[in-house]
């Protein structure tokens, strides 16, 4: 028999390759980092949709995400290291530290640079705080943190400092208070004492039947209050008609600059929302619910975890749906329903192409009832008082109630519950105490960053769904920012476009490149209006989701309604 002789040098190469194959591909896992990650995760599941939750544990513990910990987490969750890295690098609140890089300072101070905070003095704070706080503290600008009525706002660690000054921030840095708790909340016991969960019990017992509940919701005309405005009752009926099992996803990721109504209601009466959520789940026959809460609302998360624990320990009904609270990680795009679903699944928050729609193929591929927080907050009142009660409110030919988040140059900013269709002038005069002393009403944003900008002369337009579109604007989540003669629409548009540039997920070229190009063009003293109009058309027609489609609104409004600022 002939034997093939392999040279010694070749044998060494073969043996070396075989030895290399015995180790996993990619970064070798540091045993110390692996033990640290295992200790943090404890007995919790390693399922893939918990990736973002587990990344938060590492970030909270160490103040950053070291490469060694990312590699260890990938091994522990049986995920590719590239998958873990691409998710971690997508979200603003995760700080990745590569080998050889210095970790960020132990404490981060975020100065909100949203429009309301910019009007309140955020730029001055950004200029002064680094010198005052020293090199041991990292001071960075941050997009809207959802406290526009308390502007300017600075977040020290996880503790929001409202109406911040250099002195109040310095004091907070020295106090080492990590999270500001939520005060004066109607807790489970108090809510139960005033008839809480009785309506849910009537639904479960059969005293209220599904068809009558669906009919009442449809008769009320309640529309989705996250901004899209789809009729709530119709959505319940559509999802109920899909083949089970069905899931539910609740959006409390109100990242639109100027919006804070969900936070205000959540801080005061969380169980009114939770009961509405459980009634919706009953009506649509849903057994699993995911609540997605933005990461900026740390105090709300601590409170909601505690109240959910009380609810689960004292369930008002048998066979209560499973409820999971998921934590965002700083990404405005996750306010879009399909991007939020991607994030709940532990992925980058990138919007999906549609169809299929979320109601058909949503969370984990199942039919999904997706709702904004405030929409569910109104369910109990509507079912107890009737759809006619809700439609009995309204003004200027509109029907219903709206929660307007009002910020800017008014005496009394805040959430204003007012008739749908109220005008901006009526809102300022009747609910906000007028303009600040010595300031004149100049313009307003009726629907946050993406809702456009209108001049004070157009102060008689009803603020509601479908009333602002003829003017190139929309109401969205009813985030109203009021400007005075101290402000300019040009600067407001620059602030908004910088925000959109920062928050674009980058999935589609028209939005990724368009927001960056537009931000660059409008920083110039003289605008190239023709080029901006072409860019606006491309972004509207070609972007995958509403971010890119609506991003040109502030620019288009400046060109149309404030041409004197461009002269």
Q: What domains are there in the chain, each with its CATH number? A: 31-97 (1.10.10.1590), 107-175 (3.40.30.10), 188-385 (3.40.50.11540), 401-565 (3.10.20.600)
Residue 184 has what pLDDT? 85
Average pLDDT over residues 9-19: 52
Contact 403, 419 (CB under 8 A): no
Q: Which residues pair with 179 in a beta bridge?
A: 158
Rounded Cα–Cα distance for residues 536 and 555 (Å): 9
pLDDT category at 397 given cuts 50, 70, 90 is very high
Is the preceding omega at residue 245 within 30 degrees of 0, hence cis? yes
For residue 346, the SS3 value is coil
Q: Which residues pair with 566 in a beta bridge?
A: none
Rounded Cα–Cα distance for residues 186 and 8 (Å): 79
Rounded Cα–Cα distance for residues 231 and 391 (Å): 13
Average pLDDT over residues 381-402: 97
Check whether 2 has a pLDDT greater than 80.
no
CA dist 67 → 20, 23, 40, 102, 340 (Å): 21, 18, 16, 12, 26
Average pLDDT over residues 365-369: 98
DSSP state string for 269-326: -HHHHHHHHHHHHHHHTEEEEEEEE-TT-HHHHHHHHHHHHHHHHS-SSTTPPEEEEE
Whole-prediction pTM: 0.94
Check whether 16 has a pLDDT greater than 80.
no
Rounded Cα–Cα distance for residues 6 and 17 (Å): 16
Average pLDDT over residues 175-191: 82
Rounded Cα–Cα distance for residues 545 and 524 (Å): 28
Check whether 464 has a pLDDT greater than 90.
yes
Rounded Cα–Cα distance for residues 495 and 151 (Å): 15
Rounded Cα–Cα distance for residues 377 and 276 (Å): 6
- pLDDT digit string (tens) for 480-509? 999 999 999 999 999 999 999 999 999 999
- pLDDT digit string (tens) for 122-181? 999 999 999 999 999 999 999 999 999 999 999 999 999 999 999 999 999 988 766 666
Mean per-residue pLDDT over the chain, rounded: 94
Whats the size of the chain, residue-wise? 567
Check whether 414 has a pLDDT greater than 60.
yes
Integer distance in angstroms from the first to the last C-alpha of the chain? 95
- pLDDT digit string (tens) for 507-553? 999 999 999 999 999 999 999 999 999 999 999 999 999 999 999 99
Rounded Cα–Cα distance for residues 317 and 305 (Å): 19
Check whether 448 has a pLDDT greater than 90.
yes
Contact 509, 480 (CB under 8 A): no
- Residue found under tokens 């033990």: 35
Rounded Cα–Cα distance for residues 168 and 173 (Å): 9
Number of H helices, E strands in the chain: 25, 15
Rounded Cα–Cα distance for residues 130 and 107 (Å): 12
Give the Cα-Cα-Cα angle 118, 121, 125 (nearest 5 degrees): 105
Helices (H), 78-114: 81-88
Which has more confidence, 296 or 176? Answer: 296
For residue 415, the SS3 value is strand
Percent of the chain's residues with pLDDT above 70: 94
Residue 180 has what pLDDT? 67
Check whether 23 has a pLDDT greater than 50.
no
Residue 15 has what pLDDT? 54
State the DSSP H helix or E strand holding residue 522, giving kind and residue range, or none if neither. helix 509-522
- Residue found under tokens 């959505």: 235
């Amino acid at each position: 028999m002939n034997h093939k002789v392999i040279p010694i040098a070749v044998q060494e190469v073969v043996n070396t390759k075989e030895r290399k194959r015995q180790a996993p591909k990619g970064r070798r896992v540091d045993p110390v980092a692996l033990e640290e990650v295992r200790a943090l995760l404890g007995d919790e599941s390693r399922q893939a949709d918990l990736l973002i939750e587990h990344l938060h544990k590492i970030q909270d513990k160490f103040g950053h995400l070291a490469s060694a910990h990312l590699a260890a987490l990938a091994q522990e969750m049986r995920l590719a290291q590239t998958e873990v890295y691409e998710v971690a690098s997508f979200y603003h609140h995760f700080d990745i530290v590569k080998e050889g890089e210095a970790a960020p300072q132990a404490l981060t101070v975020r100065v909100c640079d949203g429009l309301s905070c910019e009007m309140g003095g955020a730029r001055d704070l950004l200029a002064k705080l680094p010198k005052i706080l020293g090199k041991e503290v990292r001071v960075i600008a941050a997009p809207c943190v959802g406290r526009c009525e308390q502007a300017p706002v600075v977040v020290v660690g996880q503790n929001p400092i409202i109406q911040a000054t250099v002195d109040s921030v310095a004091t907070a840095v020295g106090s080492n208070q990590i999270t500001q708790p939520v005060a004066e909340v109607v807790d489970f016991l108090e809510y139960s004492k005033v008839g809480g969960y009785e309506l849910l019990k009537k639904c479960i017992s059969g005293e209220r039947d599904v068809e009558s509940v669906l009919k009442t919701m449809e008769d009320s005309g309640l529309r989705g209050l996250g901004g899209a405005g789809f009729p709530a009752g119709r959505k319940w009926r559509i999802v109920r008609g899909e083949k089970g099992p069905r899931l539910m996803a609740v959006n409390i990721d109100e990242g639109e600059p100027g919006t804070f109504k969900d936070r205000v209601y959540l801080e005061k009466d969380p169980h009114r929302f939770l009961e509405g959520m459980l009634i919706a789940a009953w009506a649509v026959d849903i057994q699993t619910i995911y609540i997605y809460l933005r990461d900026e609302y740390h105090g709300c998360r601590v409170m909601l975890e505690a109240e959910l624990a009380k609810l689960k320990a004292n369930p008002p009904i048998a066979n209560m749906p499973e409820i999971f609270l998921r934590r965002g990680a700083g990404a405005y795009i996750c306010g879009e329903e399909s991007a939020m679903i991607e994030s709940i699944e532990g992925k980058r928050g990138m919007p999906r192409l549609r169809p299929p729609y979320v109601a058909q193929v949503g969370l984990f591929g199942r039919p999904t009832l997706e709702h904004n927080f405030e929409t569910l907050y109104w369910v109990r009142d509507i079912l107890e008082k009737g759809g006619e009660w809700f439609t009995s409110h309204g003004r200027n030919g509109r029907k219903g109630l709206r929660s307007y988040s009002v910020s800017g140059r008014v005496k009394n900013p805040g959430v204003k519950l007012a008739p749908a269709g109220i005008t901006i002038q009526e809102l300022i005069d009747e609910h906000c105490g007028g303009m600040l002393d010595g300031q004149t009403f100049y313009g307003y944003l009726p629907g946050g960053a993406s809702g456009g900008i209108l001049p004070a002369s157009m102060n008689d337009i009803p603020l509601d769904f479908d009333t602002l579109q003829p003017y190139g604007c929309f109401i969205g989540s009813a985030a109203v920012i009021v400007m005075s003669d101290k402000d300019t629409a040009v600067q407001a548009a620059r602030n908004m476009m910088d925000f959109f540039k920062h928050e674009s997920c980058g999935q589609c070229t028209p939005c990724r490149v368009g927001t960056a190009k537009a931000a660059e063009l409008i920083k110039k003293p003289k605008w190239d209006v023709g080029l901006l109009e072409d860019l606006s058309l491309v972004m509207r027609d070609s972007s995958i989701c509403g971010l890119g489609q609506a991003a040109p609104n502030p620019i288009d409004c400046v060109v149309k309604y404030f041409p004197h600022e461009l002269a």
